[in-house]
Structure 1
């Protein structure tokens, strides 16, 4: 009887549910974007208003199926960062940036684009910068080799405005960095 009781309780609960009943999903949302925002549902649920820095517990039918709409015009990129039981809304200028600089005047550069294609550019004046507002959560890669016999080249990879990798070369061998982990 002890083994059957949980199943009977489950059946009573399910049988008592109407077709339109749902079990809400609860989320703690923290707005760390630096902006007042509105979360507009893509599934017909009510919008959620969040002031900058505000923390709010919300219940939804369909999970966090919302578009993030800032309260003012901005060029920032907004994103949900989901962890166990907490979702944080962040903003940044670019999802990915490649920086190439150094004492060399020019470099041959090869990098992976937001479309997962490799782009090669020869004889680029330094410093150079390539920025992407959107980027696949796949491998990011940049390589630069100096043109000429003198100088050094440094390549830096920034993710959401923070440096994650850097390499330098003072020979004809390229300075190369990559990123595999997008968490």
Structure 2
């Protein structure tokens, strides 16, 4: 009887460990995800600002297309994670969001529209990986390439974007809008 009870408790414990993780682990991975997202944003942003200073959108937009993925790839290696920016309004068809990323984006947009806090979080994904999500909010400097034509974005910039990204729908934003999410999968 006692052996059966111990066996049942051991099985319950094993199942619980594979389905989730402790609050302490959630906090640790949330903090780690925030650090990675901030470092990634800082690296991408500083590179884009350098290109903007060197030649404006005409230089920054092609740089973003050619180098942003490489920068995130290097940072992914450095942090032993898969770092991705995802959106429901795509600039490039090469980075389509997953169903879960779309759900998270919708959740953040709803919270943002209700003026509620949009906090990062971590969960276990369908493959059993620890997955971090954080909102990407539009800042004033982003509106040069993601804003509204003839308001915060020039027609010339829009033309450059349409030439480089013919299927672009990543414009029309206002400051504070949810642009998408940081989606970071931790390698175990």
**What interval of TM-score do these two structures reach, taking the shorter chain for normalisation?**
under 0.3
Higher strand share: 1
Q: Whose relative contact order is higher, 1 or 2, with alpha carbons under 8 Å and at least 6 apart? A: 2
Q: Which one has a bigger Cα radius of gyration?
A: 1
TM-score (norm: length of structure 2):
0.25
Higher helix share: 2
